Structure 1
Amino acid sequence: MTENSEQPIRQRFGKAIRRRRRELDISQEELAELAELHRTYISDVERGEVNPSLDNIEKLAAALNITISDLFIQYGIEVEDVI
């Protein structure tokens, strides 16, 4: 298993959101506004402390101008050695 796959998916997802947000050079507050979510929720997502709903994953992906599938593929959220 890779180091990445040993992290809970919430943490891998949070890191992906943070990376994409930083690539776009937007703040957590700006992302929250774009996604119609609270800024503290964005912070919790990025730290892997919450388990976002599918609705919120869709909002975040749209706000980050990326498809959900590309978010998972391009930012290593998927675990390759899943049986």
Structure 2
Amino acid sequence: MEKEEKRPFAVLFGKLLRRRRLEMGLSQAEIAWISKLSEEGYGRIERGESIPTTLTLSRIHNTTGISMDRIFKEIDRIEKANKPEEE
């Protein structure tokens, strides 16, 4: 089976999550443990290889304080910044 292509939402969410984790001064292992996630699963989310379930999003929110509203606003901001200007 071929590896599934990364989805834009997953990649952008992963970047946001990584930035927040680094702001908090935590390793992937530490944030995974606090969030009650496997280190491997958390790493896949942060790399944009996996889209988290609602339960996982809730656990990540409880650990990082990143709200769904902030996630969507940040992703929208990143997409707009990366969008090529129309001619």
| TM above 0.5 | yes
Q: Partner residue of 2:11?
A: 11
Q: State the superposition RMSD in angstroms.
A: 1.9
More helix by percentage:
2
- Rounded to whole Å, the distance in 2 between the matches of 1:77 and 1:60 is 16
**CA-to-partner distance for each residue in 1:7-63, whole Å, 9 max, x for gaps?**
710000000100000011101111111110001111100110011111111111111
Name the counterpart of 1:41: 41
Query: Would you say 1:52 and 2:73 are equivalent positions?
Result: no
Q: What code does the residue aligned with 1:54 have?
A: T
Q: Which of these two proteins has the greater Rg computed from alpha carbons?
A: 2
In the alignment, which residue of structure 1 is the partner of 2:75?
Answer: 77
Letter in 2 for 1:25: G
Q: Which runs of 4+ in 1 moved over 6 A?
A: none
- Are the aligned partners of 1:61 and 1:71 in contact in 2 as well (CA < 8 Å)? no
**5+ residue gaps, structure 2:** 1-6
**C-alpha separation in 1, matches of 2:42 and 2:8:** 17
Match of 1:62 in 2: 62
Q: TM-score, normalised by structure 1?
A: 0.76
What is the alpha-carbon distance in structure 1 between the residues aligned to residue 15 and residue 28 of structure 2? 13
* Gap runs ≥5 in structure 1: 1-6
% identity of equivalent residues: 30
